[in-house]
Structure 1
Amino acid sequence: MLIDGVVLLWFILTVLSLIFVAIDIRSTPENPVMKWAFVLFTAYSGPFGAFLYVLGCREPLPGLHERYVTARWRQALGSTMHCAAGDGVGILVGAVIGALVALPLMVDFALEYVLGFAFGWTIFQALFMGEMFGTYWKALKGTFTSEFLSMNCLMGGMLPVSALAFQGNPDAHDPTQALFWFRMSLALMVGALVAYPMNYWLVAHHLKHGMLTVRPAGSGADSGGMEGMDMPKEAGTDSKMASMSMADKMKAAESGSALHKPNPPVWVMGAVSLAVLALGIVITLIFA
């Protein structure tokens, strides 16, 4: 069948892409957590992930990573990769469990959401990025909102694709078949695309980190680990924001302080994220 050839080609390209990113990213002066995020996302998305790594994170010339990743769209790209990589682990585990025990469609998706959110929030956000907040518990509190908004959009984009792709083909719902993993790859890629605008807003308002630059001490280039963070351009706030920790920036943004008041407010964007999730559920229920 044609689909078998497409799936075979996809996985060949995915393996090649994963090998390239896993080897090449070792020399990229990026935060280790973000390195793992790009490797995991490439495992989900094959050549698409490798293309985004080269376009958005790979240092074009020695010493240019800091300036290269300051573009806000690259900051948002890193944030989205971080979201999709962490949440994706839990989502895939939930999808496998749901398929093996033959859970009803919406129960399956609820399990994927819970496991995806739990892994993305408690591990990839709070645990791996806890140094920005000082303690794990502060990190849990500080990253809940950003994880919630991003996860809702990711799942809202994923649900229709996961439910409708190859509908009626039993192989697409059997974890022992390649088509199952191809279907989930497509769903995660679409979910990441849908989550990108929300991550752009989160990064712009310092509710989530973007790309980071980490260089060995004494490397001769600008270093420090946070140089890639995009700073606000509003007059009078640059010096204040630059002196604040990531935890303080997120706290200031969430509280709507005069220092950096989110626009629209956080609660409005929360409603938008829930609307995206609800739309994905409605499309799934109507057409699946």
Structure 2
Amino acid sequence: MLATISWIALGIGLLSSLIIIVDVIRHPQMMAIMNVVWPINGWFLGPFAVWSYYKWGRLKAKDVDREDNRGMGAQVFMSTSHCSSGCTLGDAVGVPIVFFTSLTVAGSTLLAHYTVEFIAAYLFGILFQLFAIYPMNQEAGILGNLKDAIKADTLSLIAFEIGMFGWMAIVHFVLFQTPPKPDQATYWFMMQIAMILGFLTSYPANWWLVKKGIKEAM
């Protein structure tokens, strides 16, 4: 039953991503990196990502001339989506690295996942942030914008990983006698849940960063 639910959830996520991909091809975002961010959100947020894209994301399409009436909550949602998508991509890249190399840290596969996925998520998160801010501040150069990207994304990324890693620990030690592996649909369904929880733990951090002016509201 769980395997069936997992396949359904993964199918809904992939369909949601596909719907968004089709639309961003037709209506590209003003900020190019958001053309990547929204489909990634579709994978783990599913129909909610599709709804939020059409409600808020479409306002930022190049060919849409509508008043941007998004409130603070929606702007922070966009900033969190941006951060979460970079983390998600990094985590998705890190999983097969650990799986195919049979890597362990201190004899633990879970710690290996934590280590590799945190590093990959951090790199992709900073890269996504750099792609967002560099076009708006090119005179600062790559190094200056890289410093700003690190300041803007580090706290929100750590907050995301706290939610994600916490769920991974529950899956590993509580929910299963034998945890699912990356070649099983159940593993990726658990990862979808982990990404949602990471999004939720990252949202307050992004709110604080935006409120303090450390991070731009998107």
TM-score by length of 1: 0.64
Q: Give the corresponding residue for 1:167.
A: 176
- Alpha-carbon distance change, 203 to 28 in structure 1, aligned in 2, over 3 angstroms: farther
**1:96-245 matches, cutoff 5 A:** 96-100=96-100, 101-103=102-104, 104=108, 105-121=110-126, 123-134=127-138, 135-165=141-171, 166-170=175-179, 172=180, 174-211=181-218
- Alpha-carbon distance change, 23 to 54 in structure 1, aligned in 2, over 3 angstroms: same
Q: Give the corresponding residue for 1:230.
A: none
RMSD: 2.2
Which amino acid in 2 is paired with 1:32? A
Q: How many pairs does the alignment contain?
A: 204
CA contact (8 A) 1:127 1:136 kept: no
1:99-155 per-residue CA deviation (whole Å, 9 max, x = no partner) reads 33152122321221111112211x211245322232111111112122111011001
Give every structure 1 segment of 4 or more consecutive aligned residues whose post-TM-superposition deviation is greater than 4 Å. Answer: none
1:58-99 per-residue CA deviation (whole Å, 9 max, x = no partner) reads 349x532x4233x11111011101101112211222222223
Q: Give the whole-Å Cα distance in 1 for the aligned partners of 2:118 and 2:36.
A: 21
Which amino acid in 1 is paired with 2:65? G
Q: Give the whole-Å Cα distance in 1 for the aligned partners of 2:21 and 2:116.
A: 30
Please list every run of 5 or more consecutive structure 1 residues that lacks an aligned counterpart in the other structure. 212-288
TM-score by length of 2: 0.83
CA contact (8 A) 1:80 1:196 kept: yes
Report the CA distance between 1:176 and its aligned residue: 1.7
Which amino acid in 2 is paired with 1:189? I
Which amino acid in 1 is paired with 2:130? A
- Alpha-carbon distance change, 45 to 36 in structure 1, aligned in 2, over 3 angstroms: same
Fraction of identical pairs, as percent: 26
Which amino acid in 1 is paired with 2:81? M
Please list every run of 5 or more consecutive structure 2 residues that lacks an aligned counterpart in the other structure. none
Q: Give the whole-Å Cα distance in 1 for the aligned partners of 2:215 and 2:206.
A: 8
